[in-house]
């Protein structure tokens, strides 16, 4: 594991040296991932109890560093760095759970040793005090049974905690994988997935097959994360009348919202808004830019949080 850390550290240095004459390509998320990686590598519990998870985290960080070295887009670097941060966090959490389990097991052994010494003393006293020997032995047996039950309860709790940690890690990894596949962007409002104009019928609100495939993946995320909600927001370009654009944006947002609920997402977890030609992401001076403005944005809330409204002006 030390060699893995050294490899990532040397690679990070190579990235910096290779860009010494220009501004290095990095992001805040990548810097945080590197710092988290150093902290995890200095944690003996991670090396002892989560070597596989830490190796996966190292590989994920290598991919983010390689993207930075190749000067890929900041969004791409951020997505890879975010995955690396999550894998590092997973390794640390698993190490923490297994370390706690080991401490519980050690405490149980110490308790058993103390109890054995107590029973030995009771037996020696029984030889000197025959009248009280039977009562003392009965008490010692009851104490042993209680200790054994406590040890069993502690082991069951540790196993349950480990299973819960594994389930959370698996769910988190699945969520991250799908969001990366959907090219989701992290914002202050939550993760944003954009459905472009090409995923709808021309000037209509019906989703095509590719559009439904995207919505189906997002529905899977929602079903696995019931504590999150979505806000579906529709937008158009400036071509056509304001009333037509407003109506089209609302119908497209409603089409996506209905598709989500038809796939099992609770209705009270889905909201929608149409903004017409407001909030463009590009100027409307070319066909390519107008196509960028014709979109539906699906905002996935942060965990146990509501989605803030858009600013009144932009």
Quote the CA–CA distance of 256 and 117 in Å, as a whole number.
70
Q: ∠ CA(112), CA(118), CA(119), 5° rounding?
A: 90
Whether pTM > 0.75 for this model: the answer is: no
Quote the CA–CA distance of 269 and 243 in Å, as a whole number.
28
Q: Which residues, at least 6 apart from 26, have a Cβ–Cβ distance to it below 8 Å?
A: 15, 68, 77
**pLDDT value for 37:** 96
**Residue 68 scores a pLDDT above 90:** yes
- Give 254's pLDDT tier (boundaries 50, 70, 90): very high
* Structural contact between residues 50 and 92, judged by C-beta atoms closer than 8 angstroms: yes
Per-residue pLDDT tens digits for 133-162: 788 888 888 888 888 888 888 888 888 878
Quote the CA–CA distance of 179 and 217 in Å, as a whole number.
9
Instruction: Give the residues across from 298 on adjacent strands.
Output: 193, 232
Q: Which residues, at least 6 apart from 155, have a Cβ–Cβ distance to it below 8 Å?
A: 104, 105, 108
22-26, 104-108, 296-300: range with highest mean pLDDT: 296-300
**pLDDT value for 17:** 39
Quote the CA–CA distance of 183 and 289 in Å, as a whole number.
19
Domains of the chain, with CATH numbers?
1-181 (no CATH), 183-300 (3.30.1330.60)
Quote the CA–CA distance of 139 and 130 in Å, as a whole number.
15
**pLDDT value for 128:** 86
**pLDDT value for 298:** 95
The number of helices, as runs of H, and strands, as runs of E, in the chain is 9, 5
**pLDDT value for 77:** 95
Quote the CA–CA distance of 21 and 6 in Å, as a whole number.
24
């Amino acid at each position: 594991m030390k060699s893995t850390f050294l490899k990532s550290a040397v690679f990070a240095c190579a990235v910096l040296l290779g860009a010494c004459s220009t501004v290095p390509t990095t992001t805040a998320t990548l810097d945080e991932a590197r710092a988290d990686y150093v902290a995890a590598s200095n944690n003996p519990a991670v090396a002892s109890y989560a070597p596989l998870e830490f190796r996966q985290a190292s590989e994920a960080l290598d991919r983010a560093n390689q993207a930075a070295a190749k000067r890929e887009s900041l969004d791409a670097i951020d997505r890879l760095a975010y995955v690396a941060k999550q894998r590092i966090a997973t390794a640390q959490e698993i190490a923490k759970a297994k370390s706690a389990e080991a401490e519980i097991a050690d405490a149980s052994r110490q308790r058993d040793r103390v109890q054995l010494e107590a029973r030995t003393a009771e037996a020696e006293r029984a030889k000197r005090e025959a009248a009280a020997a039977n009562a003392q032995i009965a008490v010692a047996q009851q104490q042993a049974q209680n200790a054994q039950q406590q040890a069993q309860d502690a082991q069951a709790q540790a196993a349950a905690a480990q299973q819960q940690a594994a389930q959370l890690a698996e769910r988190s990894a699945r969520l991250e994988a799908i969001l990366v596949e959907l090219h989701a962007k992290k914002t202050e409002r939550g993760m944003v997935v954009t459905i472009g104009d090409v995923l709808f019928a021309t000037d209509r609100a019906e989703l095509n097959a590719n559009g439904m495939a995207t919505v189906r993946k997002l529905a899977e995320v929602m079903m696995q994360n019931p504590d999150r909600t979505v806000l579906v927001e529709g937008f158009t370009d400036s071509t056509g009348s304001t009333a037509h654009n407003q109506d089209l944006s609302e119908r497209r947002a409603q089409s996506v919202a209905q598709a989500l609920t038809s796939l099992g997402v609770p209705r009270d977890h889905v909201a929608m808004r149409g903004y017409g030609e407001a909030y463009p992401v590009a100027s409307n001076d070319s066909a390519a830019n107008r196509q960028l403005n014709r979109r539906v944005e699906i905002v996935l809330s942060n965990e146990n949080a509501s989605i803030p409204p858009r600013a009144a002006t932009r």
